[in-house]
Amino acid sequence: MKIVSFFSRYSFAVLVFLFGFGCTNYSTTASVQAPPTLISITNNGNSNFTIKVRAQNPEFIFQGYRLYSGISEKEVQNPTDLNLGTDCVLASSTIVQPVEYTFEIDPSQKDNATGVSCRIFATLTPGTYIAMRTLGLAVNLQNSNSSFKVSPSSNALIVP
Protein backbone atom coordinates (compact mmCIF):
# COMPACT_ATOMS: atom_id res chain seq x y z
CA MET A 1 0.00 0.00 0.00
CA LYS A 2 2.74 2.43 0.89
CA ILE A 3 4.47 1.89 -2.50
CA VAL A 4 1.29 2.70 -4.40
CA SER A 5 0.73 5.73 -2.20
CA PHE A 6 4.28 6.99 -2.89
CA PHE A 7 3.87 6.75 -6.69
CA SER A 8 0.45 8.34 -6.76
CA ARG A 9 1.62 11.29 -4.62
CA TYR A 10 4.93 11.87 -6.30
CA SER A 11 4.29 10.61 -9.83
CA PHE A 12 4.47 14.11 -11.31
CA ALA A 13 7.81 14.80 -9.63
CA VAL A 14 9.18 11.42 -10.74
CA LEU A 15 8.07 12.04 -14.35
CA VAL A 16 9.63 15.52 -14.36
CA PHE A 17 12.88 14.11 -13.03
CA LEU A 18 13.00 11.21 -15.51
CA PHE A 19 12.03 13.15 -18.61
CA GLY A 20 13.26 16.62 -17.75
CA PHE A 21 16.64 15.83 -16.28
CA GLY A 22 17.29 12.27 -17.39
CA CYS A 23 16.76 12.70 -21.14
CA THR A 24 19.89 13.77 -22.97
CA ASN A 25 19.19 12.12 -26.33
CA TYR A 26 18.04 15.01 -28.42
CA SER A 27 19.48 16.77 -31.45
CA THR A 28 19.81 20.38 -32.49
CA THR A 29 20.48 19.48 -36.13
CA ALA A 30 17.67 19.64 -38.67
CA SER A 31 16.07 16.45 -39.94
CA VAL A 32 16.95 15.54 -43.52
CA GLN A 33 14.00 14.64 -45.74
CA ALA A 34 14.24 11.77 -48.21
CA PRO A 35 14.45 12.91 -51.84
CA PRO A 36 11.63 11.92 -54.19
CA THR A 37 12.12 9.68 -57.23
CA LEU A 38 10.85 11.02 -60.56
CA ILE A 39 9.21 8.18 -62.47
CA SER A 40 7.92 9.79 -65.65
CA ILE A 41 6.97 13.05 -67.36
CA THR A 42 4.28 13.33 -70.03
CA ASN A 43 3.61 16.26 -72.35
CA ASN A 44 -0.15 16.97 -72.32
CA GLY A 45 0.09 19.79 -74.89
CA ASN A 46 -0.28 23.56 -74.42
CA SER A 47 2.75 23.77 -72.05
CA ASN A 48 1.03 21.34 -69.68
CA PHE A 49 2.96 18.37 -68.28
CA THR A 50 2.18 15.54 -65.86
CA ILE A 51 4.90 14.15 -63.59
CA LYS A 52 4.67 10.87 -61.66
CA VAL A 53 6.72 10.92 -58.46
CA ARG A 54 7.38 8.20 -55.87
CA ALA A 55 8.20 9.46 -52.38
CA GLN A 56 8.11 8.58 -48.70
CA ASN A 57 7.76 11.41 -46.19
CA PRO A 58 6.53 10.24 -42.79
CA GLU A 59 7.89 13.14 -40.73
CA PHE A 60 5.53 15.77 -39.40
CA ILE A 61 7.86 18.47 -40.77
CA PHE A 62 7.12 17.40 -44.38
CA GLN A 63 5.67 20.33 -46.34
CA GLY A 64 5.80 19.50 -50.04
CA TYR A 65 8.16 19.61 -53.01
CA ARG A 66 10.23 22.08 -55.01
CA LEU A 67 10.71 21.70 -58.78
CA TYR A 68 13.89 22.83 -60.52
CA SER A 69 14.31 23.16 -64.28
CA GLY A 70 17.38 23.96 -66.35
CA ILE A 71 19.50 23.23 -69.38
CA SER A 72 21.55 20.40 -67.87
CA GLU A 73 21.23 17.55 -65.39
CA LYS A 74 23.99 19.08 -63.27
CA GLU A 75 22.22 22.46 -63.15
CA VAL A 76 18.90 21.05 -61.89
CA GLN A 77 20.47 18.71 -59.35
CA ASN A 78 22.94 21.30 -58.03
CA PRO A 79 21.38 24.76 -58.47
CA THR A 80 23.36 27.81 -57.39
CA ASP A 81 20.45 28.87 -55.15
CA LEU A 82 18.14 26.25 -53.61
CA ASN A 83 15.38 28.88 -53.28
CA LEU A 84 15.02 29.37 -57.06
CA GLY A 85 12.70 26.41 -57.65
CA THR A 86 8.91 26.41 -57.83
CA ASP A 87 7.09 25.07 -54.76
CA CYS A 88 4.18 22.70 -54.36
CA VAL A 89 3.09 22.74 -50.72
CA LEU A 90 0.99 19.72 -49.75
CA ALA A 91 -1.04 19.04 -46.63
CA SER A 92 0.95 17.40 -43.85
CA SER A 93 1.00 13.66 -44.04
CA THR A 94 1.52 10.80 -41.62
CA ILE A 95 2.13 8.27 -44.38
CA VAL A 96 5.00 5.89 -43.72
CA GLN A 97 4.81 3.85 -46.90
CA PRO A 98 5.99 5.10 -50.29
CA VAL A 99 3.30 6.99 -52.19
CA GLU A 100 2.98 7.79 -55.87
CA TYR A 101 2.09 11.42 -56.46
CA THR A 102 0.84 12.98 -59.68
CA PHE A 103 1.89 16.59 -60.26
CA GLU A 104 0.64 18.81 -63.04
CA ILE A 105 2.97 21.50 -64.33
CA ASP A 106 1.08 24.28 -66.03
CA PRO A 107 1.70 28.04 -66.22
CA SER A 108 -2.06 28.81 -66.08
CA GLN A 109 -3.83 29.39 -62.77
CA LYS A 110 -6.41 26.60 -63.21
CA ASP A 111 -7.60 24.29 -60.42
CA ASN A 112 -6.13 20.80 -59.98
CA ALA A 113 -7.42 18.17 -62.37
CA THR A 114 -8.93 15.01 -60.91
CA GLY A 115 -6.28 12.71 -59.45
CA VAL A 116 -3.61 15.42 -59.35
CA SER A 117 -1.88 15.85 -55.99
CA CYS A 118 -0.65 19.35 -56.72
CA ARG A 119 -0.40 21.86 -59.57
CA ILE A 120 2.95 23.58 -60.03
CA PHE A 121 2.67 26.92 -61.79
CA ALA A 122 5.73 26.85 -64.05
CA THR A 123 6.64 26.83 -67.72
CA LEU A 124 8.76 23.95 -69.01
CA THR A 125 10.53 23.80 -72.37
CA PRO A 126 10.98 20.50 -74.22
CA GLY A 127 14.61 19.33 -74.11
CA THR A 128 15.33 20.88 -70.69
CA TYR A 129 15.84 18.90 -67.49
CA ILE A 130 13.82 18.77 -64.27
CA ALA A 131 14.55 17.55 -60.75
CA MET A 132 12.72 17.84 -57.42
CA ARG A 133 13.57 18.16 -53.76
CA THR A 134 11.44 17.53 -50.68
CA LEU A 135 10.60 20.53 -48.50
CA GLY A 136 10.80 20.18 -44.73
CA LEU A 137 9.91 22.81 -42.17
CA ALA A 138 12.91 24.11 -40.24
CA VAL A 139 12.07 26.08 -37.08
CA ASN A 140 14.64 28.07 -35.14
CA LEU A 141 13.42 28.23 -31.53
CA GLN A 142 15.95 30.88 -30.52
CA ASN A 143 14.55 33.58 -32.79
CA SER A 144 11.14 32.08 -33.71
CA ASN A 145 11.94 31.98 -37.44
CA SER A 146 10.85 29.22 -39.76
CA SER A 147 11.94 28.35 -43.28
CA PHE A 148 12.04 25.43 -45.67
CA LYS A 149 14.93 22.99 -45.60
CA VAL A 150 15.34 21.02 -48.81
CA SER A 151 16.36 17.39 -49.26
CA PRO A 152 19.09 16.12 -51.54
CA SER A 153 18.09 16.16 -55.20
CA SER A 154 15.97 13.58 -56.96
CA ASN A 155 17.00 11.99 -60.21
CA ALA A 156 16.65 14.19 -63.31
CA LEU A 157 14.33 13.72 -66.30
CA ILE A 158 14.39 15.33 -69.75
CA VAL A 159 11.21 17.22 -70.64
CA PRO A 160 9.66 15.61 -73.78
Residue 10 belongs to some domain of the structure = no
Residue 145 belongs to some domain of the structure = yes
Of all residues in the chain, the percent with pLDDT exceeding 70 is: 68
Residue 127 belongs to some domain of the structure = yes
> When comparing pLDDT for 49 and 138, which is higher?
49
CATH, residue 46: 2.60.40
Residue 108 belongs to some domain of the structure = yes
Residue 78 belongs to some domain of the structure = yes
Residue 111 belongs to some domain of the structure = yes
| Phi, psi values for residue 87, rounded to 5° | -90, 150
Read off the pLDDT band of 41 (50, 70, 90).
Answer: very high
Question: Nearest CA to 49 among 79, 25, 75, 69?
Answer: 69
Report pTM. 0.75
pLDDT tens for each residue of 113-130:
778 888 899 999 999 999
Read off the pLDDT band of 105 (50, 70, 90).
Answer: very high
Does the structure show a pLDDT above 60 at 21? no
Domain that holds residue 46: 37-158
pLDDT tens for each residue of 61-79:
778 899 999 999 999 999 9
Residue 15 belongs to some domain of the structure = no
Residue 20 belongs to some domain of the structure = no
Count the domains in the chain. 1
Q: What is the pLDDT of residue 76?
A: 96
Q: Measured between alpha carbons, how far is 158 from 1 in angstroms, rounded to an integer?
A: 73
Q: What is the pLDDT of residue 72?
A: 96
